[in-house]
């Protein structure tokens, strides 16, 4: 899994012979600044982008292969003992407009098969979009497998580049949607003003003060008032949009504090509006390690328990990669992986294109 945050590649080795499934080994390969910059450039139309996208797809295949080989080396598992790689690819466009939508995740999957000697499943989102869905979020179906409880209403909050929710009521239908930015705006602002790729533990945001007028302006974006199903990405939440909301006189630390509050408000207001009866909230993704963000969420959701998914036995850092291993398994065995009630598609679909060895 390499997500909207553009920080690097999460690779996991998963065993689905047990119930619940087991996460056996993990491996992380960071992106360097040059690769991150070139991927960001593809989010906007520019010269020779088809060639650059193809070449980046090749480069990503080599990076994904490096992550897989590193994971297998550390685990001692041989490539021939792996059924398949579930490769999400790197999203560079996500425009799920009904009837004419598309979503692009870069990776030369055929090359990845050649580099690893393992069957690859990729392009998980396109089939759902073709069926009229948002193509995202796709992880709620896997959250249901891991975290559903017959007696407790739980909500899983994934805070990656974008934040999304999964509601798991004991007597009712699973629900979920993207609820706004997670880390991507905070990371971009932090990089611009401090040179660091992220605000460790939210310390810089905590040093600033929330700017109420700016927060109101950001929250006035139409996305926040749209009902689910909905998904989003850098097409909506990006530095150009943020800059259009600034006067130019704000202190950088205050803008960071406001961006953190934007993430908190997007999550908390969605929870209180759609899932007010949830008893337990569990966080995963990189934002789960932002102490300031978590503290503010707990304050906003004072009547609900807020913990990391680690409390349920699954490391918050690896759940999304784990989910795409599960989706790959579903595809290999010819089983649907989507939840149309969440994505808005006209039916459940088998997700992923299979590139056999």
> Which CATH number characterizes residue 82's domain?
3.30.420.40
Following CA atoms 121, 123, 126, 128 in sequence, which dihedral angle do they give, to the nearest 10 degrees?
40
Range of the domain at 227: 140-312
Q: Which residue has the tokens 């999460």?
A: 10
* 155 and 282 together in one domain: yes
> CA–CA separation, 167 vs 255, rounded Å?
31
Output the CA–CA distances (angstroms, integers) from residue 260 to 90, 182, 329, in the order listed: 24, 8, 36
Report angle CA 18, 21, 24 to the nearest 5 degrees. 100
* 68 and 86 together in one domain: yes
The two beta strands, 85-86 and 90-95, are: unpaired
**Structure-block tokens of residue 149:** 């409880």
* 162 and 284 together in one domain: yes
* 279 and 331 together in one domain: no
Q: Residue 14 CA to chain centroid, in angstroms?
A: 19
Q: Which residue has the tokens 């680690």?
A: 310
Tell me the β-bridge partners of 85: 120
* 152 and 123 together in one domain: no
Query: Does any domain span residue 262?
Result: yes
What SS3 state is found at 188? helix
Query: Does any domain span residue 1?
Result: no
> CA–CA separation, 236 vs 7, rounded Å?
19
Query: Does any domain span residue 77?
Result: yes
| pLDDT at residue 100, rounded to an integer | 86
| pLDDT at residue 172, rounded to an integer | 86
* 187 and 114 together in one domain: no
Q: What b/e readout covers 139-158, taking b as 16+ CB neighbours within 10 angstroms?
A: bbbbbbebbeeeeebbbbbb
What SS3 state is found at 318? coil
Residues 6+ apart with CB under 8 A from 168: 143, 144, 147, 148, 149, 153, 154, 155, 156, 174
* 87 and 149 together in one domain: no
| pLDDT at residue 127, rounded to an integer | 97
How many Cα atoms occupy the beta-carbon half-sphere of 326 within 13 Å?
A: 23
| pLDDT at residue 171, rounded to an integer | 86
Query: Does any domain span residue 2?
Result: no
* 131 and 145 together in one domain: no
* 191 and 286 together in one domain: yes
Count the domains in the chain: 2
Q: What are phi and psi of 280, to 5 degrees?
A: -135, 135
Q: Which residue has the tokens 């611009």?
A: 192
Query: Does any domain span residue 3?
Result: no
* 56 and 146 together in one domain: no
Sign (positive or negative) of CA dihedral 16, 17, 22, 24: negative
Print pLDDT tens along the chain (357 aa). Answer: 999 889 999 999 999 998 899 999 999 999 999 999 999 999 888 899 999 999 999 999 999 999 999 999 999 999 999 999 999 999 999 999 877 899 999 999 999 999 999 999 999 999 999 999 999 999 999 999 999 999 999 999 999 999 999 999 998 899 999 999 999 999 999 999 999 999 999 999 999 999 999 999 999 999 999 999 999 999 999 999 999 999 999 999 999 999 999 999 999 999 999 999 999 999 999 999 999 999 999 999 987 899 999 999 999 999 999 999 999 999 999 999 999 999 999 999 999 999 999
Q: Which residue has the tokens 């605000």?
A: 199
Query: Does any domain span residue 340?
Result: yes
User: What is the pTM assigned to this prediction?
Assistant: 0.95
Query: Does any domain span residue 306?
Result: yes
* 127 and 102 together in one domain: yes
* 343 and 228 together in one domain: no
Query: Does any domain span residue 291?
Result: yes
DSSP string, 157-168: EEESSEEEEEEE
CB atoms within 10 A of CB 109: 23
């Amino acid at each position: 899994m390499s997500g909207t945050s553009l920080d690097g590649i999460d690779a996991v080795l998963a065993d689905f012979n047990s119930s619940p499934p087991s996460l056996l080994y993990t491996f992380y390969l960071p992106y360097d600044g040059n690769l991150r910059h070139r991927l960001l450039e593809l989010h906007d139309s520019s010269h020779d982008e088809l060639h650059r996208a193809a070449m980046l797809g090749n480069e990503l295949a080599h990076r994904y292969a490096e992550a897989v080989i590193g994971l297998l080396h550390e685990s001692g598992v041989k490539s021939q003992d792996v059924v398949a790689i579930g490769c999400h690819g790197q999203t560079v466009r996500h425009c799920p407009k009904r009837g004419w939508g598309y979503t692009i995740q870069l990776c030369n999957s055929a090359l990845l098969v050649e580099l690893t000697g393992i069957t690859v499943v990729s392009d998980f989102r396109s089939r759902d979009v073709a069926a009229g869905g948002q193509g995202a979020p796709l992880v709620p179906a896997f959250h249901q497998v891991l975290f559903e409880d017959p007696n407790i209403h739980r909500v899983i909050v994934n805070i990656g580049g974008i934040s999304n929710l999964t509601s798991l009521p004991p007597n009712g239908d699973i629900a979920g949607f993207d609820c706004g930015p997670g880390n991507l705006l905070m990371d971009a602002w932090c990089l611009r003003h401090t040179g660091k790729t992220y605000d460790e533990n939210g310390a810089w945001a905590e040093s600033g003060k929330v700017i109420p007028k700016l927060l109101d302006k950001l929250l006035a974006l139409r996305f926040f008032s749209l009902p689910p199903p909905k998904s989003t990405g850098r097409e909506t939440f990006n530095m150009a949009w943020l800059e259009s909301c600034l006067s130019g006189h704000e202190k950088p630390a205050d803008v960071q504090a406001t961006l953190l509050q934007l993430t908190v408000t997007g999550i908390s207001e969605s929870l209180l509006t759609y899932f007010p009866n949830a008893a337990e909230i569990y966080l995963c993704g990189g934002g789960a390690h932002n102490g300031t963000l978590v503290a503010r969420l707990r304050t906003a959701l004072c009547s609900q328990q807020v913990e990391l998914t680690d409390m349920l036995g699954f490391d918050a850092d690896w759940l999304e990669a784990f989910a795409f291993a599960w989706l790959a398994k579903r595809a290999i065995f010819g089983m649907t992986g989507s939840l149309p009630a969440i994505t808005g598609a006209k039916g459940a679909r088998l997700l992923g294109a299979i590139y056999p060895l």
